[in-house]
């Protein structure tokens, strides 16, 4: 597709969790829990309320019409504020500081006073029926490939509860601070959308004060084409999928415009709904028969001039009829049939003929049918009628959910401005000159990568790896405080730590100070680098112990390692001919000699690693 010719316009909303000690409006720890650890449960029915303008948001109105009962699961690490049984506390200052830092990095105008607002959200993701959000800064920009991308707003807000399944939510994530960064619709190609997202991600990670890992950053993308409509696509988890999602959405809108033009050419219209249960009383369709036997009815909708268009593919795996069915499912229906795909699903050609005669359908007309209990069937048909009328106009504005394959599915109408009103429980925060002057702008990851190559002699791969790591600041602290090889520090942080994590070690139990003690001992020669994984693995089991206790438990005392290395080096040197003759088979007899001297003093695995290293050196000599 020629995206410039299509008039593609796209904008991003980036939601990034912040790395703080407390949640945004309570003092609970911002930690994720296993659902099995939940200690209590309660229920809520949520209702939409008018905004300060006195209007009810259309998206909230649709959610409430579904009449859902939401279940919430709490933990010993959550409190009454998450439950909406106690007023919120003041805005967390650490979160505010991080948000101000990010705003300055994006050349934004910071507001004079922070006011918290309530944004109506009644999809179950918050116990209150709204999300607390605060505008931090306006009118900024970033540069990507020499082009200025406008950043109209940056907000600080609480993250939503985590959906477990269906209408069940976990409260561990609710209240974790996050920033919402909105761009203007300045991107004109899928590739540009990805590049802008990457640039914003780099800025966020460069602070060293945002969370990393699955679910900690989410991208929403707004997409439109000429004569189309703004579509908000929510929940893009994988940065790599952004291009495909934007490309497919542009194609979807283009196909909907082609359907609109064809419908207008045919003089199409949406006809009447009739009950046709009697026509299918003896049907062999298992789906229809089961629904009727359960007390349901069959309704049919006549669609003048729609023949052949309900089955038209918009994007791979998504037909126009699927869009209608998605709307009906939101109203509780299991799905629908239409004449573009019939006979089929047990519905015979004779039944289709009788249906067309009953509905007075012409050759160019289509019929859509649904079997459900009366209340559900009627509401679902209302949704179908609305979607078919929208097809006559073109592309309806709506919020859609990103799927793993790059396609999207209907979520709800696009929310409007009628969903904000002031938060009365939280006092405003004045932004002072002193607060802003105390915020230091960190070095960008790309700049750090280049500096690491020059300053520390790291090669391209190692410099890139550590610059993009969340341990970047730890790396610099270590190499500045201790006489230790930068390459070795990177290897421990970026290779050994992930390795022992894969082996089951709870690496998160080790703090930065644990690692500083570890590298200090390494620089003092208290153990050899070959012992790093063994020591760290053991320390993860007993993080409350100090390093000396861990080394003693492993049989590593004082200069034992240096003695081991000298002994092994001398032994291999004396038996060099034997090693060259036997190759790797020389290991076993030499291992026995070393263990005879060091059994009980040094862990056998460590002895093995030191010996293998010395044997390798001899063999490489030729």
CA geometry: angle 88, 89, 95, nearest 5 deg: 110
Q: How much is the pLDDT for 218?
A: 92
Q: Residue 583: pLDDT above 90?
A: no
Phi/psi at 216 (5° precision):
-85, -20
Q: How many domains does the chain have?
A: 3
Instruction: Based on the fold, state whether residues 223 and 305 are members of the same structural domain.
Output: no
CA geometry: angle 414, 419, 422, nearest 5 deg: 155
Q: Residue 11: pLDDT above 80?
A: yes
Picking from 211, 230, 249, the residue at the C-terminal end of a domain is 230
Picking from 371, 395, 419, the residue at the C-terminal end of a domain is 395
Q: How much is the pLDDT for 46?
A: 85
Q: Residue 380: pLDDT above 90?
A: yes
In the predicted model, what is the mean pLDDT of residues 579-584?
A: 87
Q: Is residue 425 part of a domain?
A: no
Q: How much is the pLDDT for 600?
A: 58
Confidence at 558, pLDDT banded by 50, 70, 90: low
On whether the CB atoms of residues 518 and 543 are closer than 8 A, the answer is no
pLDDT in tens, 457-468: 999 999 999 999
Instruction: Based on the fold, state whether residues 382 and 276 are members of the same structural domain.
Output: yes
In the predicted model, what is the mean pLDDT of residues 412-416?
A: 84
Phi/psi at 79 (5° precision):
-140, -170
For residue 290, what is the domain's CATH number?
3.30.1360.30
Q: How much is the pLDDT for 148?
A: 97
- Residue 256's nearest CA partner among 161, 177, 192, 323 is 323
Count Cβ atoms below 10 Å from residue 30 Cβ, excluding itself. 24
Measured in whole angstroms, how far is the alpha carbon of residue 294 from the centre of its chain? 40
Confidence at 529, pLDDT banded by 50, 70, 90: confident
pLDDT in tens, 546-555: 998 998 888 7
Q: Residue 290: pLDDT above 70?
A: yes
Q: Residue 55: pLDDT above 80?
A: no
The answer for residues whose C-beta is within 8 angstroms of residue 259's C-beta and 6 or more apart is: 309, 312, 320, 391
Q: Is residue 284 part of a domain?
A: yes
In the predicted model, what is the mean pLDDT of residues 119-130?
A: 91
pLDDT in tens, 83-113: 999 999 999 999 999 999 999 999 999 999 9
Q: How much is the pLDDT for 554?
A: 85
Q: How much is the pLDDT for 475?
A: 96
Instruction: Based on the fold, state whether residues 113 and 152 are members of the same structural domain.
Output: yes
Q: Residue 471: pLDDT above 90?
A: yes
- Residue 331's nearest CA partner among 71, 49, 62 is 62
Instruction: Based on the fold, state whether residues 499 and 362 are members of the same structural domain.
Output: no
- Distance between CA atoms of 279 and 444, rounded to whole angstroms? 69
E strand or H helix that includes residue 402: strand 398-402
Instruction: Based on the fold, state whether residues 183 and 269 are members of the same structural domain.
Output: no
E strand or H helix that includes residue 151: strand 147-158
Q: Is residue 428 part of a domain?
A: no
Instruction: Based on the fold, state whether residues 271 and 214 are members of the same structural domain.
Output: no
Q: Is residue 410 part of a domain?
A: no
Segments in 359-471 forming alpha helices (H): 374-393, 433-437, 445-456, 460-467
- Distance between CA atoms of 43 and 127, rounded to whole angstroms? 9
Instruction: Based on the fold, state whether residues 34 and 133 are members of the same structural domain.
Output: yes
Instruction: Based on the fold, state whether residues 202 and 280 are members of the same structural domain.
Output: no
Confidence at 68, pLDDT banded by 50, 70, 90: confident
Q: Residue 49: pLDDT above 90?
A: no
Q: Is residue 85 part of a domain?
A: yes
Top-confidence range, 45-49, 249-253, 550-554, 605-609: 249-253
Confidence at 622, pLDDT banded by 50, 70, 90: low
- Residue 229's nearest CA partner among 7, 60, 2 is 7
- Distance between CA atoms of 148 and 192, rounded to whole angstroms? 12
Q: How much is the pLDDT for 620?
A: 84
Q: Is residue 90 part of a domain?
A: yes
Q: How much is the pLDDT for 296?
A: 96
In the predicted model, what is the mean pLDDT of residues 140-166?
A: 96
Q: How much is the pLDDT for 559?
A: 63
In the predicted model, what is the mean pLDDT of residues 508-512?
A: 92
Kindly report the average pLDDT of the chain as a whole number: 93
113-127, 413-427, 600-614: which has the minimum mean pLDDT? 600-614
Instruction: Based on the fold, state whether residues 362 and 283 are members of the same structural domain.
Output: yes
Q: Is residue 590 part of a domain?
A: yes
Q: How much is the pLDDT for 172?
A: 97
At 68, list the tokens. Answer: 């859902």
Confidence at 78, pLDDT banded by 50, 70, 90: very high
Instruction: Based on the fold, state whether residues 19 and 167 are members of the same structural domain.
Output: yes
Instruction: Based on the fold, state whether residues 145 and 33 are members of the same structural domain.
Output: yes
Q: Residue 452: pLDDT above 90?
A: yes
105-109, 208-212, 524-528: which has the minimum mean pLDDT? 524-528
- Please tell me the total number of residues recorded for the chain in this structure: 622
DSSP secondary structure code for residue 210 in this structure:
B
The residue ranking higher by pLDDT, 59 or 579, is: 579
Q: Is residue 434 part of a domain?
A: no
The residue segments making up the domain with residue 160 are 3-230
In the predicted model, what is the mean pLDDT of residues 448-455?
A: 96
Instruction: Based on the fold, state whether residues 312 and 224 are members of the same structural domain.
Output: no
């Amino acid at each position: 597709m020629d995206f410039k010719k299509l008039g593609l316009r796209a904008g991003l909303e980036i939601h990034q969790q912040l790395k703080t000690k407390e949640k945004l409006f309570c003092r609970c720890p911002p930690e994720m829990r296993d659902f099995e650890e939940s200690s209590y449960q309660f229920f809520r029915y949520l209702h939409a309320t008018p905004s300060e303008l006195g209007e009810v948001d259309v998206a909230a109105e649709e959610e409430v019409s579904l009449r859902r009962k939401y279940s919430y699961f709490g933990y010993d690490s959550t409190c009454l504020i998450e439950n909406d049984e106690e007023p919120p506390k003041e805005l967390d200052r650490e979160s505010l500081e991080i948000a101000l830092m990010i705003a300055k990095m994006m050349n934004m105008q910071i507001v004079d006073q922070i006011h918290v607002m309530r944004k109506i959200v009644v999809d179950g993701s918050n116990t209150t029926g709204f999300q607390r959000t605060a505008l931090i800064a306006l009118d900024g920009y970033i540069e990507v490939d020499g082009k200025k991308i406008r950043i109209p707003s940056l907000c600080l807000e609480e993250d939503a509860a985590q959906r477990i399944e269906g209408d069940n939510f976990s409260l561990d994530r609710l209240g974790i601070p996050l920033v919402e960064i909105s761009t203007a619709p300045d991107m004109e190609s899928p590739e540009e959308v990805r590049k802008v997202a990457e640039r914003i991600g780099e800025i966020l990670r460069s602070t060293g004060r945002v969370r990393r890992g699955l679910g900690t950053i989410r991208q929403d993308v707004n997409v439109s084409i000429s004569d189309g409509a703004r579509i908000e696509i929510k929940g893009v988890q994988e940065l790599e999928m952004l291009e495909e999602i934007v490309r497919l959405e542009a194609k979807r809108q283009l196909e909907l415009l082609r359907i609109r033009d064809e419908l207008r050419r045919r003089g199409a219209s949406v006809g009447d709904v009739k009950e046709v249960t009697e026509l299918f009383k003896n049907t062999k369709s298992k789906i229809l028969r089961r629904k009727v036997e359960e007390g349901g009815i069959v309704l049919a909708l006549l669609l003048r001039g729609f023949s052949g268009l309900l089955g038209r593919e918009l994007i791979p795996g998504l037909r126009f009829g699927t869009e209608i069915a998605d709307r009906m499912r939101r109203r509780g229906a299991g799905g629908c049939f239409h004449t573009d795909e019939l006979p089929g699903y047990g519905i015979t050609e004779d039944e289709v003929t009788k249906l067309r005669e009953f509905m007075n359908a012409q050759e160019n007309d289509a019929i859509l049918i649904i079997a459900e209990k009366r209340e559900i069937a009627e509401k679902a048909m209302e949704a179908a009628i609305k979607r078919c009328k929208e097809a006559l106009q073109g592309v309806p504005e709506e919020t859609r959910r990103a799927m793993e394959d790059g396609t999207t599915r209907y979520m709800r109408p696009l929310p409007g401005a009628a969903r904000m009103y002031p938060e009365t429980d939280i006092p405003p925060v004045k932004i002072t000159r002193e607060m802003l002057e105390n915020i230091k702008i960190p070095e960008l990851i790309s700049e750090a990568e280049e500096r690491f190559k020059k300053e520390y002699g790291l090669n391209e791969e190692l410099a890139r790896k550590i610059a993009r790591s969340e341990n970047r600041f730890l790396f610099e602290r270590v190499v500045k405080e201790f006489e230790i090889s930068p390459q070795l520090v990177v290897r421990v942080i970026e290779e050994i730590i992930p390795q022992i994590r894969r082996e089951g070690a709870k690496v998160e139990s080790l703090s930065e100070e644990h690692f500083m003690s570890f590298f200090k001992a390494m620089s003092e020669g208290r153990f050899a680098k070959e012992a790093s994984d063994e020591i760290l693995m053991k320390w993860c089991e007993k993080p409350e112990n100090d390093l000396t206790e861990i080394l003693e438990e492993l049989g590593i005392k004082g200069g034992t390692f240096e003695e081991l290395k000298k002994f092994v080096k001398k032994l291999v040197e004396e038996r060099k001919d034997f090693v060259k003759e036997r190759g790797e088979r020389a290991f076993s007899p030499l291992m026995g000699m070393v263990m005879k001297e060091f059994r009980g003093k040094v862990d056998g695995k460590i002895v093995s690693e030191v010996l293998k290293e010395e044997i390798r050196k001899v063999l490489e000599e030729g």
